[in-house]
Amino acid sequence: MKAKTTFFYAYIVDYIAIGQGPTGKATTYFNTNAQSYGNESELEYQFVKNFFLTGTLAFTRAQKETTDELHDADMGEISPLTGTLGLRWEMDGIYALVYNEFADKQKFVDTDMQESATAAWNTWNAGFGIEKETFGVHFAANNLLNRGYTEHLQYNRDPFTSGTKVPQPGTNFQLSASYRLQ
């Protein structure tokens, strides 16, 4: 079993926050202090020969000090709780995998930046490939159930003025190949 976890904390002096100017019609910038903390974790467990259970989890919480101009303590552009849970088969450089990718709803949004909450979502993805010493070929099929969802931060912006949320693609496919010169 392989496991890795990282905890972090940052205190930011003179964080540049985005907000509305005195008229409420113009975007402007303000200095304030802020802090962020969170965790990133990974797990890989081989439960039988060539089969692995894999998972990731990431969480960040970030807040800024409020001022006369900045009314919302939540910092903008922070992802919600996200992760993956999957099953991978691997043997002699050949692999196949299936995994679920998910994100919790994001309710800690910066209303000073005109962000709005996003719903939770999850997708099922699969792939297979060959990875040898000098070359690799990989195929992936993403969002197999053709689920409609919007990721946090996926806005159509006129910079920093939140607009329409941009939906993520339905079922899509990727094929890639690589070759390493030695």
Q: What pLDDT, on a 0 to 100 scale, did the predictor assign at position 76? A: 86
Choice among 19-28, 36-45, 46-55 with the minimum mean pLDDT? 19-28
Average pLDDT of span 33-37: 97
Q: Give which of 147, 150, 118, 137 is closest to 179, Cα–Cα.
A: 137
Whole-angstrom distance, CA of residue 126 vs CA of residue 146: 13
Give the tens place of pLDDT for each residue, 44-76. 999 999 999 999 999 999 999 998 889 899 998
pLDDT at 166: 78
Q: Rounded mean pLDDT of 98-108?
A: 96
CA 173 – CA 25 distance, rounded (Å): 42
More confident residue, 180 or 113: 180
Domains of the chain from N-terminus onward: 2-179 (2.40.170.20)
Contact between 13 and 46 under an 8 Å Cβ cutoff? The reply is no
Write down the pLDDT at residue 26. 75
pLDDT tens figures, 120-159: 999 999 999 999 999 999 999 999 999 898 888 766 555 5
* Phi, psi for 113 (deg, rounded to 5): -90, 0
- Residue 84's pLDDT band, with cuts at 50, 70 and 90, is very high
**17 within 8 A of 70, measured Cβ to Cβ:** yes
